[in-house]
Amino acid sequence: MASDFGLSSEYTGDCLILSTTGYINSDGGDQILAKIQEALARDINRVVINLMDSKVINSIGISFLIESIELLMNAGGRMVFANLDPSVEKALQIMGLFHFAGKASSVEDAHADLN
Amino acid sequence: MAWPKRHDFSPPLRQDRHQFSQVETGMSHFTKIDQLFVHRKAFQAGFDSLIHAGTLPALAERFASLLRRHLRFACVDIWFKAAEDLPWVTLSVDSESCFDKEDPFRDCTMESSAALRAPCRELSFSFAVEEETCFGIIARRDTADESLDQGDILALQMFLQTLSNAYQVFITRQQEKEATFSLNTRRLQINSLVDAGVDLFAARDENTLLALALQQAAALTSAASGRLTVSRDGQVFKTYHFPESGPPTENPPSPNQLKSDFEFLGDTFTFLLFDKESRNGTATFDETDQVLLTGQSRQVKVTMENRYLYRQSMEQERLRQELAVAASIQRALMPTTFPRISGYEIDGFSRPCKEVGGDFFHCIPMENGRQALVTGDVSGKGIPAALLVSTLHAALHAYLDSQLSLAEIGRKINSFIYESSTENKYITCFIGILTSATGELEVLNAGHESALLRRPDGSIDEIRSSGLPLGIFEDNPDLQPERLRLVAGDTLLVFTDGLPDAQNESGETYGLPRVLEQLRAPATAGELVRRIHKDVQRFTGHAPLTDDLTLLAAICTQPCPAATGDYYSI
């Protein structure tokens, strides 16, 4: 399948920061989930997802994010979204993700929120 | 093989002690019941723990932990099979044990007497929790530990019932989550469709709009990718891809496609979406997806129509503003006040039938106390006519300041208009040069309506055209000025054809007789002009003016000294 999704990750202390680019669909969601599972295996349960360069998300991508949030919550952790495009923010809002995850206007704010 | 029905090992109630104790176990009733009561709290605590497991592996892990803790199993391995034709999936494995045969639990169900026979140290059985859904469990105690007795088997059965109940809760929660997700997805889709129109309308240009529309369509239907083509007469001249890299291959085309198209201003816009995504890989686009894509496609069409109409409306507004400016400029070309000339009254007005008109009038002061009384009527109306009025205005000012004769001025202006105008454009024009001191009036009528001259005795003379309108041909040889002399009481009325041709709602024209009637009644120049204007308005009623209307009146109010020279007698 064609995909323009890109994912980069870095660990800052005990926090994983994921930055995405492009369409968050099944492929993108799966990659995010895999990164979070890797982090949990390293006992890292706090994650910032920087969505600055992702302007589109579909429901399958969102389902992977929900699963990621559940995994983190089951491990006593938390996820915070940063730099949300208004349309993506609205999609996550409607799908109820902000009942279980935070949002912040920057990665720094998200990191501060987790700490 | 058919999987057994789900077991129902309901926990015994106190009043059922006796009945429960009748189960043939080989143990004393007291001992069995006491053992169950020892585990009673463990059943409840275990259930509480199990129902909080977020995932199936977590549920299995917690159940294995219960068995290890309360039934002293050294190893507990748990597998799961979702349906009869699906393979076993590992959920929780303590030991290195693994399947060394295709199905280790075949014929080892809870119903088989061999599965849970005490005394033993190791159990291996499958346990159905749904019609086709089973857990497979292998549990064993260390060789040093004692064998399982019937009490342990009963307790295990109670724990299995706890697992079964917890699994039902787990499944119910999963279904609730799926239902909530599905409901929220529908809300998201409806919201996205509603918002699409607003977002699309705000797009800065059509390329951005169409790229955004395709992106929204793909997200709306969970398509992996999409393409939007714009074609005319079957020829595609523009293609948009989402993602921009586009579908990987078109040969062979993906059978999992969704299509919708619409036409706008002769172009066909075709949405084509590929590969609907699901958590299990791909799915097939369904009717809902088709409805969504069709809805999105209509939104795009409506947005494009609205943007088109909006642009049209903006363009019209811009033109209206430009016309207002043009009208203002044109008004500035014509007088709003008239020079005070001893012994004469001069007045006039011009009313265009559109924002700008093709009529012109003026009273232009010249050297030696002379005044040029001018009215002109450009063929056609609107902006083209207004432009030619400007040309006439410039030419008049240029040549009237010269020392040329009126005949020469007429020829010069004719050539100038001829060179400046397009084909079929010309100007009818009346120029009267009045020498106020003597009452001498030299007139040139180039194809214009006859001017009217009311004499003091009430008679009315016509000053007819002596040549063709200006600008029709390069030369206008018949254009010859005429000379006459105004005396006290003379009223000169010059007008364009918009006056006699003004129509009322019945299509009746105002006509020359009404003009003559107005001219006959005594009045000052200002009164005459206003009275005629008012009478035309009364006559036309609510009918719109079909032509520009212009009047210029000059009245000689006092005797002039006798002038020398020849004067044309009308």
**Are B152 and B228 in the same domain?**
no
B230 in any annotated domain:
yes
**Are B379 and B302 in the same domain?**
no
Name the domain count of chain A.
Answer: 1
Chain A residue with Cα closest to B187: A94
Are B215 and A56 in contact (CB < 8 Å)? yes
B570 in any annotated domain:
no
The answer for residues whose C-beta is within 8 angstroms of residue B352's C-beta and 6 or more apart is: B327, B330, B358, B359, B381, B548
Report yes or no: A47 and A15 within 8 Å, Cβ to Cβ. Answer: yes
**Are B386 and B499 in the same domain?**
yes
pLDDT digits (tens, 9 = 90+) for A58-92: 999 999 999 999 999 989 999 999 999 999 999 99
pLDDT at A68: 96
pLDDT at B383: 84
Q: Residue written as tokens 């040309």?
A: B391
First and final CA of chain A: distance in angstroms? 38
Q: Which long-range contacts (CB under 8 A, 24 or more apart) does B506-512 make?
A: B510/B536, B510/B539, B510/B540
**Are B93 and B167 in the same domain?**
yes
Are A56 and B54 in contact (CB < 8 Å)? no
The answer for residues whose C-beta is within 8 angstroms of residue B334's C-beta and 6 or more apart is: B350, B360, B361, B362
B318 in any annotated domain:
no
CB contacts, 8 Å: B220 with chain A: 58
pLDDT at B567: 42
CATH number, domain of B261, equals: 3.30.450.40
Output the tens digit of pLDDT for each of chain B's 570 residues: 334 344 444 443 333 333 333 344 445 555 666 666 777 777 888 888 898 888 899 899 999 999 998 888 888 999 999 998 888 888 988 765 555 556 667 666 665 545 566 667 788 888 888 888 999 998 888 877 778 888 888 888 889 999 999 999 999 999 999 999 999 999 999 999 988 888 998 999 999 999 999 999 999 999 999 999 999 999 999 999 999 876 555 555 667 899 999 999 999 999 999 999 998 888 999 999 999 999 999 999 999 999 999 999 999 999 889 888 888 888 888 998 998 888 999 999 999 988 888 999 999 999 888 999 999 999 988 888 888 999 999 999 999 888 889 999 999 999 999 998 887 889 999 999 999 989 999 999 999 999 999 999 999 999 988 889 999 998 888 889 999 999 999 999 999 999 999 999 999 999 999 999 999 998 999 999 999 999 999 999 999 888 999 999 999 998 766 544 444 434
**Are B338 and B446 in the same domain?**
yes
Sheet of strand B451-454: strand arrangement: B344-351, B549-556, B491-495, B451-454, B460-463
pLDDT at B29: 55
**Are B211 and B154 in the same domain?**
no
Are A60 and B188 in contact (CB < 8 Å)? no
* A36-59 b/e (C-beta count within 10 Å ≥ 16 → b): beebbeeebbbbbbbbeebbbbbb
CATH number, domain of A58, equals: 3.30.750.24
Contact of A37 with chain B, judged by CB distance below 8 Å, is answered with no
A73 in any annotated domain:
yes
First and final CA of chain B: distance in angstroms? 126
Between CA B502 and CA B204 the distance in angstroms is 48
For residue B240, give its domain range: 203-308
What does the DSSP assignment read for B440-483? Answer: EEEEEEESPPPEEEE-TTS-EEEE---BPPBTSSS--TT---EE
B539 in any annotated domain:
yes
**Per-residue three-class SS string for A86-105:** HHHHHHHHHCCHHHCCEEEC
**Are B132 and B230 in the same domain?**
no
pLDDT at B121: 75
**Are B338 and B440 in the same domain?**
yes
pLDDT at B546: 86
pLDDT at B112: 54
pLDDT at B371: 93
Angstroms from B226 CA to nearest CA on chain A: 9
**Are B262 and B363 in the same domain?**
no
pLDDT at B32: 63
A43 in any annotated domain:
yes
CATH number, domain of B445, equals: 3.60.40.10
pLDDT at B28: 53
Angstroms from A72 CA to nearest CA on chain B: 11
Phi/psi region, residue A83 (left: phi>0; alpha: psi -120 to 50; beta: rest), is left
- Inter-chain CB pairs, A–B, below 8 Å: 83
For residue A91, give its domain range: 6-98
Flag whether the ipTM exceeds 0.90: yes
B568 in any annotated domain:
no
Instruction: Give the CB-side neighbour count of residue A76, counting CA atoms within 13 A.
Output: 2
CB contacts, 8 Å: B192 with chain A: 91
B569 in any annotated domain:
no
Mark which of B266, B290, B308 sits at the end of a domain.
B308
CA distances B489 to B52, B403, B437, B527, Å, are 114, 31, 15, 15
Please report, as a single letter, which amino acid is at residue A57.
Answer: I
Q: Residue written as tokens 């369904």?
A: B286
* Chain B stretch 230-259, residues whose beta carbon is closer than 8 A to a beta carbon of chain A: 241-248
Between CA B364 and CA B480 the distance in angstroms is 21
A110 in any annotated domain:
no
**Are B299 and B343 in the same domain?**
no
pLDDT at B385: 87
Are A58 and B219 in contact (CB < 8 Å)? yes
What DSSP character marks residue B356? S
Name the domain count of chain B.
Answer: 3
CB contacts, 8 Å: B225 with chain A: 1-3
**Are B496 and B382 in the same domain?**
yes
Helix (H), strand (E) counts: chain A: 4, 5
Angstroms from A23 CA to nearest CA on chain B: 7
B180 in any annotated domain:
no
**Are B423 and B509 in the same domain?**
yes
pLDDT at B25: 45
CA distances A55 to A5, B25, B286, B413, Å, are 11, 66, 25, 67
Contact of B275 with chain A, judged by CB distance below 8 Å, is answered with yes
